[in-house]
Structure 1
Amino acid sequence: MTPDVVADVGNSRLKWGRCQPGRIAEMVSLPLDDPQSWEEQRRRWRLPQPCHWAIASVNPPAAERFRRWLQSHGEAAYLFENPALLPLHLGVDQPREVGWDRLLNAVAAHCLAAPAPAVIIALGTAMTVDVVDGQGVFRGGAILPGPRLLADALHRHTALLPYLDVSELPAVVAPGTNTGDAILAGIRAALVGGALLLLHHYADHFPAPWVFLTGGALGDLAQWNFGGRFRGTRHVPALTLEGLRIAAESLPDPPPSEAPPSSAASEKPTIPLS
């Protein structure tokens, strides 16, 4: 199938990507439950009628509300529910329990990196650090609390530490000279240190991988280069949406509801790297 728009329904935001041949031409982040803003964005993009959508979500109730809204407007909406339909091998214990954002990031990263392995650092509500090998097998990864969750936990589970609204990786570097800066420096050290530890662990097992960075909470991590053990570092803000576009384009038209496990994509679609 060839989607006109792809939609990633997250836990806090709804992201749309307007598709052109071989790439996401434009992306936008919208409120999760605001049909008026959705309608305004449809008009702003002057989408074709009817419009073909591909949807993936880590938030099934919100995804179903959004799909019903699209169908009420006469749109064709396909919701990914079976990970076996992805152009990716799944080398994990329980494929259906892996978040769609992680799987789609792996689809896009493999298309960019193959035949080299790829490590994906995605930082938002949570931080995930995942790996896909050079044959297109998703090997799993690690999930850590993101900056907002870390700040909230410190406040909720102590008597005196203040609440800090931390929307992205803090820029404060230790030692912090006051309580607030000490919290921010600790959050930074936990996330950056965790990412570095995992990167080097993966590189021991999957030599010379590419590193891909994505997510709205990256802060200055988006500009990092992780050094000589890695082929290079790429910041791809639309990585999840690119993976969704690639996955949708790998399906027949109309797409099936179920299929046997698919193999890795054989070609590398063009994806802008920044």
Structure 2
Amino acid sequence: MLRIVADIGNSRLKWARLDEHGAPAETVALPLDDPNAWGKVYDDWHAGASGPSLWVVSTVNPPLARSLADFLATREPKPADVRWFRTAAEVPLAKDVEGADTGGSDRALAVLGALRLLGAGQPILVVSCGTAITIERVTADGVWQGGVIAMGLGLCARALHHFTAQLPLVAPDASAPPWGRSTNPSLEAGVFWGTVGAVRELLERQEPDMEGPPLVVWTGGDASKLAEAVEGPAARVVPDLVLHGLIHAAFPSDSK
């Protein structure tokens, strides 16, 4: 049976088609508002499949989740089953947090993915760089303790643009200057290097009460931009930790 996992975020929709061993055979990032693009990938992936597909979906975006559910209900062949992870409480993970039933499934799934990649035995910090930047704390024996939620690069840039009268929208990366003589480079400097400084400070503040120096793993759309700026070229970046966590949550026998 064709098995597909999907991660619905606030900025991106990602699908992964699994191979016979339960590993991602192909991963695509799709626009949030283009069902025609979804349909093309759906039809391509089902073209050579025998029988209906099985879908497992993580979502932190209820309106888009409804759109995807409606989309799947109208496709041929119709999926045999669609399983949803809507909150952190639904993720099979040891937790020492409050409000897991309202917390994002993506945060818990990123932790689960990191644990599958790195294993227990050492504390871990998982830095997810998307619309928001989150830093998840994991104890040496694999317990998720919660963490930090901060503003992501794109959200910071959009907020400065939308909530002021004259500031333009910028999309800075590590080429941003440390300061600028005009508005655009000044914004790029503030957004990018201000975010780098915030993440570096937040990481440093996690360490004193952890059981030794933590391993840090980065994921998300802006991870490649921020990880090296914060940690240098040795930073460990895994682009699709949520999807890997989703695979293990849904198909644990395949991911042992």
Say whether the fold is shared (TM-score over 0.5).
Answer: yes
Counterpart in the other structure of 1:99: 104
CA contact (8 A) 2:173 2:192 kept: yes
- Unaligned 5+ residue runs, structure 1? 252-267
1:184 and 2:188 matched: yes
Counterpart in 2 of 1:71? 73
Report the CA distance between 1:159 and its aligned residue: 4.4
Q: 1:164 to 1:170 in 2, by over 3 A?
A: farther
Q: Deviations along 1:135-169, whole A, 9 cap, x unmatched?
A: 22111111111222222322344444x21242x64
Which residue does the alignment assign to 1:153? Answer: 159
Code of the residue aligned with 1:120 in structure 2: it is: V
Q: Which has the higher contact order (CA 8 A, sep 6+)?
A: 1
Say how many residue pairs are matched: 247
Cα displacement (A) at 1:41: 0.4
* CA distance in structure 2 between the partners assigned to 1:25 and 1:134 by the alignment: 31
Instruction: Look up the match of 2:12.
Output: 13
3-state DSSP class of the match of 2:145?
strand
Distance 1:82 1:238 in 2: 18
Q: Secondary structure at the match of 1:89?
A: coil
Is the aligned partner of 1:240 residue 2:245? no
Q: Give the secondary-structure state (helix, strand or coil) at the position aligned to 2:134.
A: strand
Q: Residue 142 of structure 1 corresponds to which residue in structure 2?
A: 148
Q: Which segments of 5 or more consecutive residues in structure 2 lack a partner in the other structure? A: none
- For the 8 Å contact 2:30–2:37, the answer to whether it is kept is yes
Cα offset, 1:122, TM superposition: 1.4
Task: Give, in whole Å, the separation in 1 of the partners of 2:255 and 2:22.
Answer: 6
Aligned to 1:128: 134
Alpha-carbon distance in 2 for matches of 1:86, 1:18: 20
Identity %: 36
Identify the match of residue 83 of structure 1 among 82, 88, 93: 88
**1:32: which partner in 2?**
32
> 3-state SS of the aligned residue for 2:235?
strand
Indicate the RMSD between aligned Cα atoms, in angstroms.
2.5
Deviation at 1:93, TM superposition (A): 1.2
User: Which residue does the alignment assign to 2:202?
Assistant: 198
Match of 2:124 in 1: 118
Is the 8 Å Cα contact of residues 116 and 134 (structure 1) preserved in structure 2?
Answer: yes
CA deviation after TM superposition for structure 1 residue 107, in Å: 0.7
TM-score by length of 2: 0.85
Q: Secondary structure at the match of 1:7?
A: strand
Q: Which segment drifts farther, 176-185 or 83-92? A: 83-92
One of 171, 175, 189 as aligned partner of 2:179: 175
